[in-house]
Every structure is written in structure tokens, then in C-alpha cells.
Chain A
Amino acid sequence: MTEADEADLARMFRAALEGDEQAYAAFLERVAALVRAVTRRKAGSGVDTEDVVQETLLAIHLKRHTWRPDAPVRPWIFAIARYKLVDSLRRRGRRVEVDIADYAETLAEPVEDVASPREVERALDELPPGQRRVVAAVGVEGRSIGEAAAAFGMNETAVRVALHRGLAAIARGRR
């Protein structure tokens, strides 16, 4: 991680907060790779790395308004990632010291074939049907908001609302 990365990430995140979906996807990819690498190294076996990655991504999404656009973005990401990792280790009955420095020193690993963890899947299954089919269509099937709207005979605003509520419910339900 370098200063360039910080500036890069901050720029992507600022664009994302203004509604740039591509910038947001790129930002989340980078965060996922970073969190994946640290979790593998720190948590060892017994923890589903990808569960922790997804929990962190959901937390970042749910709490993205707590970042101040003029503040450094990496300490913000690391604090959330660390909180979520410690949280998930505690829920599995383990005590682990995770230092913020572990994140800063880690080079993001390339994305490899990632398993499909159960926790988000389960949370998705528990959503009301209207939200579930929208989240599944946009996420799993990769449809755009417009395509999902056409497929379900809804207007785009309703699709956006269902997606937003569904994701928020998944994020809140998984703590």
C-alpha cells in the first residue's frame, strides 16, 4: 500500500458516494482483496475468509456515510475491517489480537476463485420475496436495474428501493 493507493481509493470512494456505480464496484474489489489477504493471514483455519470479506463489504456499504470525504480513507477501511474480523472471531469463540498495522502492511492479493459462503446466502433466503428476487437478479444474475425492472414489471425506483432495503437487511441481520 502506498500513498498513491490512498489517493486512488479516496477518489474512487468519493465518486462512489456521488453515485458512480463503476467506481464503487472497483473500490469494493480493492477492499475485498485487501481484507481477504489480512484475514487469511491472521485468522487461520476455522474462519471462512470469504464470510469475513463479505461481512466487511456489507458493513462498509451500510456505514459509508461515516467517512468524511476529506479524511484519509485507508484508516477508515482498516478500522471497519478489523472490527468485523474481531467480531466474527469472537462469535466463533476465539480471541485474537488484530493490529491495524496488519492491514496497512498488506499488499492486496489478486482475486482468485472464491467459494460461495453460506452466511450471505442464508440472509438472502430470509429476505421478503420482493427484496430477495431483486437482490438475486442484480447480484447473482448480474442484471442491471433497468433489466430487473423490466423482468419484474416494476419501475426502476421500486427496484432501487427493494435492492437498498434488501442489502441493508442483510447487513444488519449478520451482526
Chain B
Amino acid sequence: MDTQSLIRALSQDAAAGAARLDHRLALGLALAAGLAAIVWFVLLGPRQDIAEALTTVRFPFKFVVTLALAVSAALAWRRIARPGAPLATVAPLLLAAPVLLAAGVVMELFAVPEGQRMARLIGTNATVCLTFIPLIGALPLAALLAALRNGAPTRPTLAGAFCGLAAGGLAATFYAAHCIDDSPLFVATWYTIAIGMLTLTGALGGRFLLRW
């Protein structure tokens, strides 16, 4: 079949419509958030003293960081779905969460005497955190990867990493409402490792699943 024939065949198929990519992506993101919420609610639920915790500084600050990550990663995820769309305008936003968290860590180091810092970092929930953030994020990661297959990412591994980062941001946001360790030292250590696991899984998944 020569190229002229192929072009003839393709052009006759011009009218065949495809679902708008933005709709598919929005659906995928909503599904991811819904799945994270369900898994979190079934496995963990909110901490008992959540009303009281909301009056502190450290507990709400966890959400500032995790939501910054979820939103910035979702924007990068949406952008990388389209070939030739510049990442340069969304990539810097990914720095928001790490920068906020680093600022929180610095303030915590000023606020907490040296002898107690290690205890804050270790916390009481480290293994729970390392277990449940990946667990809450697994299905959302699958949903984000599946939605991105409707797009055309020309960098599949990076695109998969964005899926993992966004799933990690969602999972961490829900997990944070359960966890009683609110110190930025704890968040910077264990949340980072847990989200890193999801990001690596996403990158690996993207490498194989996001080719087209």
C-alpha cells in the first residue's frame, strides 16, 4: 500500500469523531480522586481528633503541601498528554510543594529543641504511612495512566512519573487526614518516600503502557 493510497483511506475517515481529550482527562482525574477517597475511607477514615487538629498550625499545613503537589502534578499530567505542548510553563509549578515543605521544615527546626527533633521525624506512624499512601494511590495511579492513554505523550516515562506524582499527591492528601504525625519533619521524610515509590511505579508503568 503506497502512501498515496494510505492518505486516500485516511482522508475518507476524516469525519469519524473522537471523544474530546479534555473530557477524558477530566473523567480520569475525577475517577482517581474518587478511588483515593473510597480506599482511604474503607481502610483508614479520618483521625478521631480532626476538629481539634484543624485549629493547630501543623495539621492544616500538611494539606497545603499535599494539595500543592496534587494540583501541580495534575497540571503537568494534563499538559504532557498533548504532543508539542510546552512543559516549560507548568514544570516550575512542581517546585511549589517541595519549596513549601522545605520552608515548613526550617520553621520546625527553629520551633523544636534539638533533643526532640528525631522523635518528631520518626513519629509513630512511619510504617503506616509507607504502607497506606502507596495503597491509597495505587488505583488512582492506574486511573491516571489509563486516562493518559487517550492522549499522545511523546515522553512516556516522564508522563508515567507525572501520573505517579499526581496519584501520590491525592493519596497523601487523604492519608494526611488520618495521620496524627503532623511535624513537617515527618512529612518531609516518610511522605516523600511513599510518594517517590508511586512516582517510580508510574514512570515504569508509563514506559510500557503509554507508548502508542
Interface residues of A (CB under 8 A from B): 16-17, 19-25, 28-29, 32, 50, 53-54, 57-59, 61-68, 71-72, 75-80, 82-83, 87, 111, 114-117, 120-121, 124, 135-136, 138-140, 142, 144-145, 160, 163-164, 167, 172, 175
B84 touches A79 (CB 8 A): yes
Given contacts A66-B82, A83-B154, contact A164 B16 (CB under 8 A): yes
B contact residues, total (Cβ < 8 Å): 30
- Closest Cβ neighbor of B19 among chain A residues: A65
B10 touches A61 (CB 8 A): yes
| Chain A residues with CB under 8 A of B10 | 24-25, 28, 57-58, 61, 167
**Could you tell me the distance between the alpha carbons of A116 and B2 in the complex, rounded to whole angstroms?**
4
**Could you tell me the distance between the alpha carbons of A61 and B2 in the complex, rounded to whole angstroms?**
16
| Chain B residues with CB under 8 A of A175 | 211-212
Contact residue among B14, B83, B84, B85 (Cβ-Cβ distance under 8 Å from A24): B14
The 0/1 profile, CB within 8 Å of A marked 1, for residues 1-26 of chain B is 11111111111111110111100000
Contact residue among A28, A76, A116 (Cβ-Cβ distance under 8 Å from B11): A28
B1 touches A139 (CB 8 A): yes
- Closest Cβ neighbor of A25 among chain B residues: B11
A53 touches B3 (CB 8 A): yes
| Chain B residues with CB under 8 A of A68 | 82, 85
**Could you tell me the distance between the alpha carbons of A65 and B18 in the complex, rounded to whole angstroms?**
6
Does B81 lie at the interface of the complex (its beta carbon under 8 Å from any beta carbon of A)? yes
**6 A-B residue contacts at CB 8 Å?**
A24-B14, A57-B7, A58-B6, A66-B83, A78-B84, A144-B12
| Chain B residues with CB under 8 A of A139 | 1, 5-6, 8-9
Given contacts A19-B15, A65-B19, contact A114 B3 (CB under 8 A): yes
Does B205 lie at the interface of the complex (its beta carbon under 8 Å from any beta carbon of A)? no
Given contacts A19-B14, A24-B14, A64-B18, contact A54 B3 (CB under 8 A): yes
**Could you tell me the distance between the alpha carbons of A168 and B8 in the complex, rounded to whole angstroms?**
15
Given contacts A66-B21, A167-B13, contact A142 B84 (CB under 8 A): no
The 0/1 profile, CB within 8 Å of A marked 1, for residues 121-163 of chain B is 0000000000000000000000000000001101000000000
A66 touches B14 (CB 8 A): no
| Chain B residues with CB under 8 A of A23 | 14
Contact residue among A63, A79, A115, A135 (Cβ-Cβ distance under 8 Å from B2): A115
Q: Which 4 pairs show the lowest CB-CB distances between chains A and B?
A: A139-B9, A75-B84, A79-B83, A79-B84
- Closest Cβ neighbor of A61 among chain B residues: B10
| Chain A residues with CB under 8 A of B4 | 111, 114
B10 to A: closest C-beta gap in Å: 5
A114 touches B2 (CB 8 A): yes
| Chain B residues with CB under 8 A of A115 | 2
- Closest Cβ neighbor of A23 among chain B residues: B14
**Could you tell me the distance between the alpha carbons of A82 and B3 in the complex, rounded to whole angstroms?**
19
**Could you tell me the distance between the alpha carbons of A155 and B99 in the complex, rounded to whole angstroms?**
61
B127 to A: closest C-beta gap in Å: 41
**Could you tell me the distance between the alpha carbons of A174 and B152 in the complex, rounded to whole angstroms?**
15
B15 touches A160 (CB 8 A): yes
Contact residue among B1, B20, B84, B151 (Cβ-Cβ distance under 8 Å from A120): B1
**Could you tell me the distance between the alpha carbons of A76 and B85 in the complex, rounded to whole angstroms?**
7
Additional A-B contacts beyond A28-B10, A63-B212, A78-B84 (11; CB < 8 A): A22-B11, A24-B14, A25-B10, A65-B21, A66-B81, A66-B82, A83-B154, A116-B1, A120-B6, A167-B13, A175-B212
